[in-house]
Amino acid sequence: MVVVGVAYLHPRDFSLKWLLGAGGKQLDIKLVVVVFAAFVYLALEGSPTTYYLYLLFPLVFGLFTWNHAGLIQGAWVSGSSGDKSKSSWKRWTEIALIFLCLELVVFGYERREIFGLLFSLLAFWPYVGNAASDDKSEASGRSSLPSRCWTISCFLISVFPYLPSEYGEHTALVNVGGLLMLLFTGVVHSMAVSGQTGWKSSSFLVSASPLALSLLTLHGTMQYLDGERSKPPFSLTVANWLLSGAPIVLLLVRLQRSKSSLSRTLETGTDRQSEQQVGLYVRRLIEVMLAFSPSFILLSIAYEVLFYVVLCAVLVSWLLLEAQASSSSMWREIQRAFVFLLLVNIAFFGTGNVASMSSFEISSTYRFVTVFAPFTMGALLVGKILIPFMVVACTLHLILLLPSASSSADAKKPRLPATRYFLLVVAMSDVLALHFLFLVKNEGSWKEIGNSISMFGIVNAQIVFIPLLFLLARAFVRDLSPATEYEESLHKKHQ
């Protein structure tokens, strides 16, 4: 975690060479001497090869921590003194609350109802921020429509962890969820457009058409699956495949073609332009949600689509709340990373749990395949699980692109890499992994042993999965991303 912390403080300069010495420019003499002495001792003892690795890693990371202790301490002092609106005890209170919530996340892996409690508490986040902030403009700005939408959507999403993770087939709920998705995205898009007409309104109709068509093909497919004829016709199967993949591919192609024009449009920094940027980011988020909606609808059998609609409402509210934030500091970054971690977890535990991973309901896959094909069915179900994760990652990418609302000076500062945020998420995941390590059982029933190992494996996989998720989600916002100072310097070097 110390290595992650140093990489967070130096996102542009850090490399793995820093583990071998200060700044990675020269080898640390202390490290060489200690490692040599340790290896000589192991050689004299005739220890196996694995013992060398067991001793090498603690020595490398221990000396790295010793060499960079002053840097971590200095960052703590500067972070505490940089924001005068909060005293030291409030900072410690925030840290204690974050660790408490991380402990609740640990218990949430065993009892998913804990995530409902977490989001019920998170619903009051804007109002707690108002009470703790001395910035009256920020406090008044947060007591607005986005704050109320955030509170309502958090209370709604907190209901789903209390619902059973094993549910039967209820196509009516899928249809209701699809209609609510059309209504929700239409209302949000119309508010983001703010009275503008033309191609922007027509673009929403084009984006929403696959969702409406997927509801029609779902109805037709279910008539065949529920009737005497157990297999839908080939034309309906092909239509389901096209409606699932075509919107995503077409969105990526369109974004690639419009990259240059959007990059020039977003380079100005006036207040009016900032409002237009926020509206543009909201519309992009709606486009991503609509692109993934047909495949999610066609792979759902019950209340999953309702959960997807509420999750999208939470994400839109989060984006609008962050657009109103007037402060930008290390503590703001920690808050964003923590909310992202909670959203990633609720994206899975909102409709499932660890035990349900081995007992997926495969009935929805017969809308795509007419014969039993375990690998294809498994890939479809994994894709369904990844869709909410992708939408959450796209939302965080858009939040990182938001213009600074504090001052024009902050807006002119070079944009920091997004790696800072997922490094924070990785550090929090390390805390969870350390806790789950001590919860691994080697006694008891096979179910208890298997679940404890599965939870430890899931959290460790999350450390690798989150950077990959960031990389995939960037494809949907690449045309909106202005080049950072670091990227521009690399481009000049290649030229």
Which string of DSSP letters, residue by residue, matches 180-215? HHHHHHHHHHHHHHTT--SHHHHHHHHHHHHHHHHH
Measured between its terminal Cα atoms, the distance across the chain in Å is: 37
pLDDT band at 490 (very low <50, low <70, confident <90, very high): very low
Least confident of 129-133, 352-356, 434-438: 129-133
480 or 309, greater pLDDT: 309
Q: Convert 321-332 to b/e letters by CB count within 10 Å (16 or more is b).
A: bbbbbbbbebbe
- The token pair at 495 is 């030229």
Last residue of a domain, one of 76, 100, 121: 76
Query: Same domain, yes or no, for 422 and 331?
Result: yes
Note the pLDDT of residue 392. Answer: 95
Does residue 82 sit within a domain? no
Note the pLDDT of residue 389. Answer: 93
Average pLDDT over residues 63-79: 62
263 or 75, greater pLDDT: 75
Does residue 50 sit within a domain? yes
Q: Mean pLDDT for the chain?
A: 78
pLDDT band at 168 (very low <50, low <70, confident <90, very high): confident
Average pLDDT over residues 22-34: 67
pLDDT band at 494 (very low <50, low <70, confident <90, very high): very low
470 or 292, greater pLDDT: 292
Assess whether pLDDT exceeds 50 at residue 461.
yes
188 or 62, greater pLDDT: 188
Within 10 A of 147 (CB to CB), how many other CB atoms are there? 22
Per-residue pLDDT tens over the stretch 181-236: 999 999 998 888 765 544 456 788 888 999 999 999 999 888 888 775 578 888 89
Does residue 86 sit within a domain? no
Integer CA distances (angstroms), 123 to 51, 159, 318, 346, 462, in order: 49, 13, 11, 14, 25
Per-residue pLDDT tens over the stretch 94-141: 778 888 888 889 998 888 899 999 999 999 988 876 555 545 444 454
Residue 194: which region, alpha, beta or left (left: phi > 0; alpha: psi -120 to 50)?
A: left
CA distance 327 to 139: 11
Assess whether pLDDT exceeds 50 at residue 161.
yes
- The token pair at 255 is 């974004």
Note the pLDDT of residue 78. Answer: 58
CA distance 126 to 122: 9
Assess whether pLDDT exceeds 50 at residue 489.
no
Query: Same domain, yes or no, for 46 and 134?
Result: no
Query: Same domain, yes or no, for 72 and 133?
Result: no
H-type alpha helices, 133-258:
136-142, 145-157, 171-193, 199-226, 234-257
Assess whether pLDDT exceeds 70 at residue 409.
no
Average pLDDT over residues 377-400: 91
Note the pLDDT of residue 254. Answer: 87
Does residue 326 sit within a domain? yes
CA distance 176 to 163: 17
Query: Same domain, yes or no, for 271 and 166?
Result: yes
CA distance 68 to 91: 22
Question: Which range marks the domain in which residue 44 is found?
Answer: 2-76
Query: Same domain, yes or no, for 57 and 25?
Result: yes
Which contacts qualify for 325-330: CB closer than 8 Å, 24 or more apart? 325/138, 325/405, 326/135, 326/137, 326/138, 326/141, 326/405, 326/406, 327/83, 327/85, 327/133, 327/135, 327/138, 327/406, 328/404, 328/406, 328/410, 329/79, 329/82, 329/83, 330/75, 330/79, 330/82
Integer CA distances (angstroms), 464 to 340, 428, 458, in order: 16, 13, 10
Average pLDDT over residues 309-331: 85
Within 10 A of 257 (CB to CB), how many other CB atoms are there? 10
Residue 6: which residues within 8 A CB-CB, separation 6 or more? 14, 18, 64, 68, 71, 72
Average pLDDT over residues 57-71: 69
Assess whether pLDDT exceeds 80 at residue 362.
no
146 or 62, greater pLDDT: 146
pLDDT band at 488 (very low <50, low <70, confident <90, very high): very low
Query: Same domain, yes or no, for 330 and 455?
Result: yes
Assess whether pLDDT exceeds 70 at residue 16.
no
Average pLDDT over residues 443-461: 84
- The token pair at 91 is 């900072």
Query: Same domain, yes or no, for 15 and 140?
Result: no
CB 17 within 8 A of CB 31: no
Decide: helix, strand or coil at residue 329. Answer: coil
Assess whether pLDDT exceeds 90 at residue 448.
no
Which value, in Å, is the radius of gyration of the alpha carbons in the chain? 25
Query: Same domain, yes or no, for 42 and 172?
Result: no
Note the pLDDT of residue 486. Answer: 40
pLDDT band at 20 (very low <50, low <70, confident <90, very high): low
Average pLDDT over residues 335-352: 88
Assess whether pLDDT exceeds 80 at residue 51.
yes
Query: Same domain, yes or no, for 487 and 367?
Result: yes
Query: Same domain, yes or no, for 122 and 34?
Result: no
How many helices, marked H, and strands, marked E, lie in the chain?
21, 0
Note the pLDDT of residue 287. Answer: 94
- Domains held by the chain: number: 2
CA distance 246 to 234: 18
Query: Same domain, yes or no, for 23 and 128?
Result: no
Does residue 277 sit within a domain? yes
Give which of 465, 184, 152 is closest to 314, Cα–Cα: 152
Last residue of a domain, one of 76, 105, 133: 76
Give which of 51, 81, 61 is closest to 6, Cα–Cα: 61
Give which of 311, 211, 220 is closest to 251, Cα–Cα: 211
Does residue 167 sit within a domain? yes
Note the pLDDT of residue 493. Answer: 43
Note the pLDDT of residue 365. Answer: 87
The DSSP secondary structure of 105-116, one letter per residue, reads: HHHHHH-THHHH
Last residue of a domain, one of 45, 76, 107: 76
CA distance 273 to 265: 9
Query: Same domain, yes or no, for 97 and 67?
Result: no
Within 10 A of 49 (CB to CB), how many other CB atoms are there? 7
Does residue 85 sit within a domain? no
Does residue 83 sit within a domain? no
